[in-house]
Amino acid sequence: MVKSKLRSRARKQANDVTVQTEPQPSAVSDVIVQTEPQPSAVSDVTVQTEPQPPADSDTTVLREALRTVTTFDAPSALGEDQLTALLQSLPRLEELTVRVPSFGTGRWLRLLPTSLRTLYVAGPEVTEPRWPGRYGSGLSVSLQGVAADTISHLATELGSRITLLVTDAQVTTIPSQLRGAIIRVEPDTVILPAGVRDSELTELRISRETVERLSVTAADLPRLRGQLPEGLQRLNVRGPEVTKPRWPERCPSDGLSVSLQVVTADTISHLADLGRTFELLEIYDCHDLTAGSLEPLTRCPELERLTLSGGVPDTVSLEPLTRCPELEYLTLSGGVPDAVLDSLSGCPGLWRLKLGDRQRPAETAFTAAAVTRLVKSCRELCVLYLHCTADTTRAVLTALKKADLGRDSDGRPRTIYLRVPGELFRQLKSQEGGGVRVWEWND
C-alpha cells in the first residue's frame, strides 16, 4: 500500500523546494520522490511504500499460479524437453493444446496429469481445429495433421486412459491398448469398442449422413437395432480378437453393405433383425455355419451379393440361399466340395458365381461334374469365375462344352462366360466353343 502525505510550507518565496533522494536512516521503507517545480505554489511529496519481498518470491508466485492452471495452449515453438518440464508444473491441467506435428519419442505423454480430460495435437498446416468432445470419465484425444506414429505413442504411453480418439489419419489396425476407446476416423468412420454406452449409440443414430463406415463388436450388434445412422454405407461386425476391421466392398447402388469377421454363426440372425435392409454381405472365417444359421438370410429381401470366405464344409447345405430371390452374385472362397454345389441347385436369380481361392487354388475340392450340374440347374447363371488347379479348369471347360446348357429365360441358347486367371486364359482361349467363352479374370 502506498501512503502519500502532502506537506506545504508557507513561505514567501514559492519557488524554494527542498528535495531528499536518499531514504532516511530511521525508516528504510520511506522514499522521498523529487517532483518538478510547479508554476505556482509547489509542495514536497513524500511517497511511502511497503517493504519489498525477496527476489526469489517471483518464482514461488509463478509456481503457485501454474498449479491452478486447467487449460493450456502450448506455443508452436515449444520443444519436447520444454513441454516435459512444463507439464511437471501443471498438476490440475484439464485441457491441453499442442500445436506441433509430433514429438519424436512421445515421452512427454507419460507426464500428462490424471486430471487431463482433453488433449488436442495439431500439425503445422492445421487452420481449423476440431476438438474431440468428451466421452466418459477418461481422456478424449484429437489428432490432426500429425505423423502416423503418434497413435502408437498414445497407445503405449496412455493406454486405457483414452476413451475417445479422433484422428484424420487412416486407422487400419486397432492397437490392443485402445480396444476400449471409441475411434473416430475423420471424416466418416467410427470404430466402437465392446460395451459402448447407450448414450453413444443414440448420438450415433442422430449422426445421419456424417457416419458412412461403422465397425462394432458382434456382442453389441443386437443393441444397434434402430440405431444405425441413416447415411451408413458400410458396416463391419467383428469378433473379440479382431484388431484390423475388414470393410466390405461398397454397394454400386450406395445401399448398405456388411462384413462379418470371425464371428459366431448366430450373428447372422442378429443382423437380419437390425431393421435395416442390406444388399451386400461378406462373411469371413465363420467356422460354425449351418443351414439353420443361414436361414435368416431368407428374411433379407434385398440381398444381392454374398461372399462366404474361408471354405464351406461338405456338411453345410446352402439350400437357404435358393430362397433368396434377389441373390445374383455369390462368391465361395476356399474349399467348396461337390455336396455344397449340389445344395445350390436351382438358385433362381444366380447370375454370377465365383469358386475357389486365388491364393490356394489347390485346396478347392469340387469336380467338373458338380459344376456342370449347377450350371444346368441355375438357368440365369451367365458368368462363372474359377480359381482351381489347371487340370480342374480344363475339365470344367470340356464338360460345359459337351453339356446341353439349354436356353435362358428369353428362349435364346445359353452362353457361359468362363473367367480364369491370366496364365490359364492364354492356354484355354483357343479351346472355347459350344456355348462357352473363355475370359480373363483380372479383378
Interatomic CA distance for residues 196 and 185, integer angstroms: 17
Burial 355-389 (b: 16+ CB within 10 A, else e): bbbeeebebbbbbbebbbbbbbbbbebbbbbbbbe
Radius of gyration of the chain (CA): 38
Q: Angle between the 368-377 and 390-402 helix axes, to the nearest 10 degrees?
A: 40
Cell triple for 394: 480344363
The three-class DSSP label of residue 109 is helix
pLDDT band at residue 62, thresholds of 50, 70 and 90? Answer: low
- Of 44 and 365, the one with more pLDDT: 365
Give the pLDDT mean for 376-393: 93
180/164 Cα distance (integer angstroms): 9
**C-alpha neighbours within 13 Å on the C-beta side of residue 102:** 15
Residue count of the chain, please give it. Answer: 443
Distance CA 381, CA 201 (A): 42
- Rounded to an integer, the average pLDDT of 432-436 is 91
pLDDT at 132: 74
Backbone dihedral angles phi then psi of residue 197, each to the nearest 5 degrees: -70, 155
Please report the pLDDT score of residue 431 as a whole number.
Answer: 93
Question: pLDDT-based confidence at 109, cuts 50/70/90?
Answer: confident
- Which pLDDT belongs to residue 44? 41
Q: Domain ranges in the chain?
A: 1-52, 54-183
Higher pLDDT, 363 or 289: 289
Convert the pLDDT of each residue in 265-300 to its tens digit. 999 999 999 988 999 999 999 888 999 999 999 999
Tally of CA atoms within 13 A in the half-sphere of 171 that contains its CB? 32
Beta-bridge mates of residue 6: 45
**Cβ contact 253:232 at 8 Å:** no
pLDDT at 129: 72
